Each structure stands twice: as C-alpha cells, then as structure tokens.
C-alpha cells in the first residue's frame, strides 16, 4: 500500500473536515493511508490537506516513506503522484478515456494565432498562410536569421536559407499554454524544391529546460525547443491537405511565452505559390466569455 505520512509538528491537533474529520494529533506522525485508512483518491482531492500543508514545513510536512518532502513536493505528492487518471468531481469516479486530450482541455483547430499584444484575444493574431505573389511581406534573408543566432556558437544555428531560394518567416503566438496534437499543410502551385519548416522557440530572455531538466535562460537570443516539421517538401497542388499525423499530443503544455516559427522556402523564381497550415491542439479556452480577458 502507499505510504503517505503526515507530520504534525505543532501543539494542536489537525482535523481534516473533507476527509471525514480525520485527525492527526499534536506532535504526531500519521500515515494517512495505513493509519487513518484513507484512500489515495480521497487524499488527492482534499482541499483541507493542501491548505494545511501550505502553512509550511516548519509546522506540517509530508513524508513518502523514504524522505521528508519540501512544501511544493509534498503538495504534488498528495494531489497527484498516485492519481493516474482524472476523477469526476461530483461522484469521485475515475474517468477512463482513450484519447490524448488532457483533462480539462478543449479541442481547438486553427489557422491563426492569438493577438497577444494589440488587443489580446483568442484568434485575431498572425495567420499561418503565405502568398508568394507578395514578395515582401514576412520575407527574411540569411542575414536576418544570423542576427537571431545569439545562443548558438559557430555554425550550430539550425537554420539557413539554401542558395537560389527565398524564405518567408511567420511568427505565431498563443496567449495560453497549449498542447500540440497534429496539423495539416495545404499548398497550391508549389515549385519542386519548395519546403516548410516549423519550430517551437523559446524567445530571448525567457526560460527553457536543458536535457537534464534544469531551467536555463535564453540570454543571448532565441533557442529552438522543438523542430516540429523538418524540411517537408511541397510540389504542385495539395487542396486536401498533407496531414502531420500523431498518436498523441505534447507531454506538457507549450508555454504561452514561446513562439511558433514557420519557414516557407521556395525557389527564387516562384511568384505565385500559396499555402497555409492548420494546427490541431488542446487548450483551456477556445473563446472568451463575456467579462473574460487574457
């Protein structure tokens, strides 16, 4: 059975009303599961337990049977470490689902980012589309891209425009953390040799995790966190779409501070190709209700 020891270091009894008035006497350690016969599901749903642990480890502390836990680790331990499936709030029954949508998230299909600057709202941001009859909007050069390479020494910057080709860079943002599921690429009149890359990027001065799980600040420039689509080639017309199929979504939400970069690369002679990307994702909200704001 699970070991979930609550240490009461104070001179007063602790009574957890939402756990049937379970009591941990003053200056006593009690295993919530084995001593008080509480279920780990009920423990994980106890607001009273979380509230009392929030007072601090000088007064109350959790122990997992091996070691005392910090305040944050103790709360994580009692609220989620043993809970491997979501629970229906009104009857505490487990929810069994076979899809990848995280509990509490909504499915969202989009071809546009959020407006996070001018008039913050869901949608109304940067469109994920391009038209090479316009040879100026969103166009970048290797000089522009080299200026972004502050974090990458020598030749490690992962992206350059090949000789004889030109590039548009779309920068898309979302106002909330989102889980990326799948996507679809549509294009028309694409010349052979055209391709698209999609990257998820930590902007300069924001934070990312290194391979050992340590937070690192991107001090010198942006850092590519995920190269989601690498050199997906386009030729001719694809009106029904080329799907980016995936069995699951990203393991954790992509932070709202991050940017989604799309590079659309075509031969220099291209003056007519068009296209757009649709993304399937999960997010907390797909619209704002009256009175809500971002």
Cα 255 → chain centroid: 5
The H-or-E segment that residue 183 falls in is: strand 179-202
Higher pLDDT, 109 or 95: 109
pTM over 0.85: no
Residue 250: the pLDDT is: 86
CATH of 106-283, picked from 3.20.20, 2.60.120, 2.40.50, 1.10.10, is 2.60.120
- Average pLDDT of the residues in 121-148: 92
Query: What share of the chain in percent tops pLDDT 90?
Result: 60
Q: How confident is the model at residue 214 (pLDDT cuts 50, 70, 90)?
A: confident
Residues of the chain with CATH 2.60.120: 106-283
Tens of pLDDT, residue by residue over 233-280, are: 999 999 999 998 888 888 889 999 999 999 999 999 999 999 999 999
Q: List Cα–Cα distances, 66 to 2, 5, 34, 36, 41, in angstroms.
A: 12, 10, 15, 19, 21
* Cβ–Cβ < 8 Å for 231, 197: yes
Q: How confident is the model at residue 219 (pLDDT cuts 50, 70, 90)?
A: confident
Tell me: pLDDT of 193 over 80. yes
Tens of pLDDT, residue by residue over 8-61, are: 999 999 999 999 999 999 999 999 999 999 988 888 889 999 999 999 999 999
Picking from 19, 63, 17, 23, the residue whose alpha carbon sits closest to that of residue 38 is 19
Instruction: Give burial (CB, 10 Å; 0-12/13-18/19+) of 265.
Output: buried
Residue 83: the pLDDT is: 47
Q: How confident is the model at residue 148 (pLDDT cuts 50, 70, 90)?
A: confident
Residue 40: the pLDDT is: 82
d(CA 174, CA 171): 10
d(CA 66, CA 208): 30
């Amino acid at each position: 059975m699970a070991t979930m020891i609550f240490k009461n270091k104070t001179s007063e009894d602790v009574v957890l009303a939402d756990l049937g008035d379970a009591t941990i006497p003053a200056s006593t350690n009690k295993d919530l599961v084995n001593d008080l016969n509480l279920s780990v599901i009920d423990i994980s749903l106890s607001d009273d337990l979380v509230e009392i642990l929030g007072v601090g480890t000088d007064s109350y502390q959790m122990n997992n049977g091996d070691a005392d836990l910090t305040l944050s680790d103790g709360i994580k331990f009692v609220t989620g470490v043993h809970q491997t499936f979501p629970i229906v709030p009104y009857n505490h029954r487990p929810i069994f689902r076979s899809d990848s949508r995280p509990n509490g998230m909504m499915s969202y299909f989009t071809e546009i980012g959020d407006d996070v600057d001018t008039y913050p709202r869901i949608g109304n941001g940067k469109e994920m589309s391009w038209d090479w009859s316009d040879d100026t909007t969103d166009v970048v050069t290797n000089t522009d891209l080299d200026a972004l390479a502050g974090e990458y020494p020598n030749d490690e910057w992962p992206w350059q425009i090949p000789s004889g080709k030109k590039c548009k860079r779309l920068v898309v943002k979302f106002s909330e953390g989102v889980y990326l599921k799948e996507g679809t690429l549509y294009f028309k009149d694409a010349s052979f040799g055209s391709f698209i890359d999609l990257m998820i990027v930590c902007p300069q001065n924001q934070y990312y995790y290194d391979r050992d799980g340590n937070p690192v600040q991107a001090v010198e420039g942006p850092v590519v966190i995920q190269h989601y689509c690498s050199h997906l080639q386009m030729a001719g017309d694809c009106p029904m779409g080329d799907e980016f199929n995936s069995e699951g979504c990203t393991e954790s939400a992509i932070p709202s501070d991050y940017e989604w970069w799309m590079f659309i690369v075509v031969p220099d002679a291209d003056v007519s190709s068009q296209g757009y990307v649709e993304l399937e994702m999960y997010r907390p909200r797909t619209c704002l209700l009256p009175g809500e704001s971002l």
